[in-house]
Amino acid sequence: MGSYRICLCCSNTFKSKEAEPPADVRSAFSRFTEGGGIHMSAAQLRRFLEDGQGDGEVASEEAERILDQIRHRRRHHLIGKMERSPTISVEDFHHYLFDEELNPPIRSQVHQDMTSPLSHYYIYTGHNSYLTGNQLSSDCSDVPIVKALQRGVRVIELDIWPNSTKDDIDVLHGRTLTSPVELIRCLRSIKEYAFSASEYPVVITLEDHLTPDLQAKVAKMVTETFGEMLYYPDSEDHKEFPSPDSLEKRIILSTKPPQEYLEAKDYKGKESGAQNGKDSKEEGAWGREISNLKIETESNDKDENDQSEEEDATVDDDLRLSQKTAPEYKRLITIRAGKPKGSLLDALKVDPDKVRRLSLSEPQLEKASASHGLDIVRFTQKNILRIYPKGTRVNSSNYNPFIGWMHGAQMVAFNMQGYGRSLWLMHGFFQANGGCGYIKKPEFLIKTGLNGEVFDPRANLPVKTTLKVKVYLGDGWRMDFSGTHFDAYSPPDFYTRVGIAGVPADSIMKKTKAIEDNWAPVWNEEFDFQLRVPELALLRVEVHEYDMSDKDDFGGQTCLPVSELRPGIRCVPLFDRKGNKYKSTRLLMRFEFV
């Protein structure tokens, strides 16, 4: 029976009909109830899970537990019924399939090997994690840091500067109108929320603009705040990074060591003069562009904002006036940023005796990947590469993360305080591996061939698998949106966009037809996607409401790691523009690999 929603602003009635089981659901129910029975037992549900959904071996106790949960959630339909044995109807079966908690589209547990070096993992990385909004004038606060940690972000970036009286440390975006927040406040919030979403290590990347005495103060502040949670290596140089497993519930620091910061600044001044007129035959165009690209690693990489270095020069003068560094500060750095000299190839050289981190802006990566893609892949097999947004993204927008991921970059740093399709991809990508913030890179980005060959991101690869996606129906908008949100005078006209984000050859979008005047649209449309690199692919899903006279309205989105998709009929929850999950809005879909 349909119900009616009365719109107070007009005389129209909005019909709200509950989604009914589609034909494929009824067919599956009939198939596994042996000859079209009207009730499904726990044993029959077990067969459906194993053979129909491809869930592998399911214990009888697990099937009974699921059936009990279905009955419990649908108990109002069982009132007054005298059932001799616990079973479910086709309507109960449909509601089970359309329940995200009981039938999610991807696995929710950590299932990958976590004992390899950090360089073998993609790491959920934030950029300017302390900003509440845009890059130029928003407030600095610990609130966005807490939100990022609660979402599962594992790398928090803090820009640290002397405060106005030069006796303490502030966190702010230098040379902008952003208001500061005290470093100690940020550190305390990190300690409190570091492991609220994941037990794997939190990396604090420090953008350091401090004098040695303040660096020493940071060292004291960090060690006192984190105590035994803080991890740092026994020696300055190590041949490989520790593993996420060995660093559970630990916090580590990443920045450029103090002495290297000063040397890099000195070298930069010399290089600008020596580079003029020099045209390296080996590097070609790169040799002519190196001074513009300014490949640097972290501690003063803020030419990402195309700003002057006058304030840095003041800090450098303070460094030169003091003969001391901060050895205790230097000793606390686990992931050390190197100091590249000369060409890009020099920056990407792999040292067999030690590991380091290199940072490139998004345009630097685009240029570098065009001519030295294989060298980048080889570098990231052992070392860590961090990518950060270009300086013109003052509104905290983001970029295409797949350029970094397909070259093995572990830290693709995003502005988590913004929103948009790029951030939806980031949110979706890190749903993988139980949402723990660490995803094992594909073997082809870790292994080296017998002759030293590595994965070529620009190679023309064959199709590895085909993903078949069927979009059955959707429901829940009438609970999450007002009756007049999409249209003041009639129910919405929903359509779904479905596609793949990944390497360029795999990326594509398709869409269903629009279903007119229905809060619970039924599409029953199927799409095929041929995938060359399924390990890096994301399934993109967006729902929009067709508007003939204006821009189509947004009705929800999600991105799901293709490698984590559970075959069969699954419930797919949808999220709002900022990545927050709707309470009720969801789709019923089927996934199949052929």
Give the pLDDT of residue 301: 44
Give the pLDDT of residue 276: 41
111 catalytic? Reply is no
Domain of 242, CATH number, reads 3.20.20.190
Give the pLDDT of residue 277: 38
Domain that holds residue 31: 23-97
Give the pLDDT of residue 508: 98
Classify residue 272: in a domain, yes or no: no
Give residues with Cβ within 8 angstroms of 555, minimum separation 6. Answer: 477, 486, 492, 494, 542, 543, 544, 545, 574, 585
Classify residue 3: in a domain, yes or no: no
Percent of all residues in the chain with a pLDDT value above 70, rounded to a whole number: 83
**Residue 513 clears pLDDT 50, i.e. is over it:** yes
Handedness of CA 29, 33, 39, 44 (dihedral sign): negative
Q: Are residues 473 and 333 in the same domain?
A: no
**Residue 348 clears pLDDT 90, i.e. is over it:** yes
**Residue 299 clears pLDDT 80, i.e. is over it:** no
Residue entry with tokens 């190197």: 338
C-beta separation of 383 from 349 below 8 A: no
What are the φ/ψ torsions at residue 529 (nearest 5 degrees)?
A: -130, 115
Distance (Å, rounded) from C-alpha 218 to C-alpha 160? 9
Classify residue 110: in a domain, yes or no: no
**Residue 190 clears pLDDT 60, i.e. is over it:** yes
Q: How confident is the model at residue 174 (pLDDT cuts 50, 70, 90)?
A: very high
Domain of 47, CATH number, reads 1.10.238.10
Give the pLDDT of residue 280: 36
Catalytic residue among 94, 95, 120, 127: 127
Give residues with Cβ within 8 angstroms of 498, minimum separation 6. Answer: 469, 471, 509, 510, 511, 512, 527, 539, 540, 541
Nearest one of 530, 428, 524, 433 to 474, comparing CA atoms: 524
Among 1-15, 331-345, 548-562, the range with the most confident prediction by mean pLDDT is 548-562
Distance (Å, rounded) from C-alpha 394 to C-alpha 396? 5
Q: Write out pLDDT tens, residues 458-485.
A: 999 999 999 999 999 999 999 999 999 9
Catalytic residue among 94, 95, 120, 173: 173
Classify residue 496: in a domain, yes or no: yes
Q: Are residues 69 and 172 in the same domain?
A: no
- Of the three residues 385, 414, 445, the one that is the final residue of a domain is 445
Give pairs for 63-67: CB < 8 Å, separation 24+: 66/96, 66/102, 67/41, 67/42
Q: Are residues 222 and 82 in the same domain?
A: no
Beta bridge partners of 554: 544
Low-confidence winner among 61-70, 234-243, 309-318, 347-356 (lowest mean pLDDT) = 309-318
Distance (Å, rounded) from C-alpha 561 to C-alpha 558? 10
**Residue 325 clears pLDDT 70, i.e. is over it:** no
Question: DSSP E strands: which ranges in 248-311?
Answer: 251-255
Q: Are residues 79 and 138 in the same domain?
A: no
Classify residue 8: in a domain, yes or no: no
CA distances from 7 to 475, 489, 491, 492, 585 (A): 19, 8, 11, 14, 21
**Residue 36 clears pLDDT 90, i.e. is over it:** no
Give the pLDDT of residue 344: 86
Q: Are residues 380 and 232 in the same domain?
A: yes
Give the pLDDT of residue 491: 95
72 catalytic? Reply is no
Give the pLDDT of residue 324: 55
Q: Write out pLDDT tens, residues 257-278.
A: 886 555 555 544 444 444 343 3
C-beta separation of 503 from 464 below 8 A: no
Q: Considering its fold, how many domains does the chain have in total?
A: 3
Classify residue 457: in a domain, yes or no: no
Distance (Å, rounded) from C-alpha 438 to C-alpha 198? 9
Domain of 467, CATH number, reads 2.60.40.150
Which residue did the predictor score with more confidence, 327 or 397? 397
Q: How confident is the model at residue 13 (pLDDT cuts 50, 70, 90)?
A: very low
Alpha-carbon dihedral 195, 196, 197, 203, rounded to 10 degrees: -30
- Of the three residues 392, 411, 445, the one that is the final residue of a domain is 445
Give the pLDDT of residue 73: 87
Nearest one of 78, 108, 11 to 488, comparing CA atoms: 11
Low-confidence winner among 159-163, 247-251, 280-284 (lowest mean pLDDT) = 280-284
**Residue 67 clears pLDDT 80, i.e. is over it:** yes
Q: Write out pLDDT tens, residues 418-464.
A: 889 999 999 999 999 999 999 999 999 999 998 889 999 999 999 99
- Token readout for 330 is 């230097």
Q: Are residues 177 and 213 in the same domain?
A: yes
Q: Are residues 183 and 302 in the same domain?
A: yes
Q: Write out pLDDT tens, residues 451-463.
A: 889 999 999 999 9
Give the pLDDT of residue 78: 52
Low-confidence winner among 30-34, 57-61, 403-407, 584-588 (lowest mean pLDDT) = 30-34
Mean pLDDT score of the chain: 87
Q: Are residues 28 and 73 in the same domain?
A: yes
SS3 244: coil
Q: Are residues 315 and 381 in the same domain?
A: yes
Give the pLDDT of residue 188: 98
Give the pLDDT of residue 46: 97
Average pLDDT over residues 28-35: 89
Low-confidence winner among 74-83, 359-368, 509-518 (lowest mean pLDDT) = 74-83
Q: Are residues 479 and 389 in the same domain?
A: no
Q: Are residues 476 and 586 in the same domain?
A: yes
**Residue 397 clears pLDDT 70, i.e. is over it:** yes
Classify residue 265: in a domain, yes or no: no
pTM: 0.88
Q: How confident is the model at residue 293 (pLDDT cuts 50, 70, 90)?
A: very low
Q: Are residues 521 and 566 in the same domain?
A: yes
Q: Write out pLDDT tens, residues 73-121.
A: 887 555 545 455 689 999 999 999 999 999 999 999 999 999 999 999 9
Give residues with Cβ within 8 angstroms of 50, minimum separation 6. Answer: 56, 57, 58
Average pLDDT over residues 349-378: 95
- Of the three residues 419, 445, 471, the one that is the final residue of a domain is 445
C-beta separation of 420 from 398 below 8 A: yes
Classify residue 173: in a domain, yes or no: yes
**Residue 538 clears pLDDT 90, i.e. is over it:** yes
- Per-position DSSP letters for 542-586, written without gaps between them: EEEE--SSSPPEEEEEEEEEGGGBPSEEEEEEEE-TTSPEEEEEE
H or E element at residue 357: strand 357-361
